[in-house]
Amino acid sequence: MNGERSDALVLLGATGDLAHRKIYPALKGLVRRGVLDVPVVGVSRSGWNLEQFRARVQDSLVQRTGEAASPEAQKLLSLLRYVDGDYNDAATFTRLRQSLGPAVRPLFYLAIPPSLFGSVAKFLGASGCVAGARVVVEKPFGRDLAGARDLNRTLHEVLPESSIFRIDHFLGKEPVQNLLYFRFANSFLEPIWNRNFIESVQITMAEAIGLEGRGSFYEEVGAIRDVVQNHLLEVVASLAMDPPVGYWGEAQRDERIKVLRAISPFTGASLVRGQFRGYRDEKGVAPESEVETYAAMQLHLNSWRWQGVPFFIRTGKRLPVTATEVMVILKAPPQQLFDEPVPPRSNYFRFRLGPDKVAIAVGARAKTPGERMAGEEVELYVCNASPEAREAYERLIGDAMAGDATLFARQDGVEAAWAIVDPVINQGGPVYRYEPGSWGPREADRMVAAYGGWYDPPADGGAGNGAA
Please report, for the domain that includes residue 25, its CATH number: 3.40.50.720
Range of the domain at 197: 171-389+410-416+428-451
Which pLDDT score, from 0 to 100, does residue 468 have?
45
Same domain (yes/no): 312, 439: yes
Same domain (yes/no): 134, 178: no
HEC readout, the chain: CCCCCCCEEEEECCCCHHHHHHHHHHHHHHHHCCCCCCCEEEEECCCCCHHHHHHHHHHHHHHHHCCCCCHHHHHHHHHEEEEECCCCCHHHHHHHHHHCCCCCCEEEEECCCHHHHHHHHHHHHHCCCCCCCEEEEECCCCCCHHHHHHHHHHHHCCCCHHHEEEECHHHHCHHHHHHHHHHHHCCCCHHHCCCCCEEEEEEEEECCCCCCCCHHHHHHHHHHHHHHHHHHHHHHHHHHCCCCCCCCCHHHHHHHHHHHHHECCCCHHHEEEEEECCHHHCCCCCCCCCCCCEEEEEECECCCCCCCCCEEEEEECCCCCCEEEEEEEECCCCCCCCCCCCCCCCCEEEEEEECCCEEEEEEEEEECCCCCCCEEEEEEEEECCCCCCCCHHHHHHHHHHHCCCCCCECHHHHHHHHHHHHHHHCCCCCEEEECCCCCCCHHHHHHHHHHCCCCCCCCCCCCCCCCC
Q: Which of 20, 169, 231, 300 is catalytic?
A: 231
- The reply to whether 459 falls in a domain is no
pLDDT of 1 strictly over 50: no
How many domains would you assign to the chain?
2
Annotation says 156 is catalytic:
no
- The reply to whether 405 falls in a domain is no
Tell me the CATH number at 270: 3.30.360.10
- The reply to whether 159 falls in a domain is no
Same domain (yes/no): 50, 196: no
- The reply to whether 353 falls in a domain is yes
Same domain (yes/no): 233, 357: yes
- The reply to whether 162 falls in a domain is no
What tens digit of pLDDT does each residue of 32-60 get? 999 999 999 999 999 999 999 999 999 99
> Model-level pTM greater than 0.85?
yes
Same domain (yes/no): 129, 206: no
What tens digit of pLDDT does each residue of 163-197 get? 999 998 888 888 888 899 999 999 999 999 999 99
Same domain (yes/no): 112, 201: no
Same domain (yes/no): 175, 95: no
Same domain (yes/no): 124, 189: no
pLDDT of 221 strictly over 90: no
Same domain (yes/no): 48, 115: yes
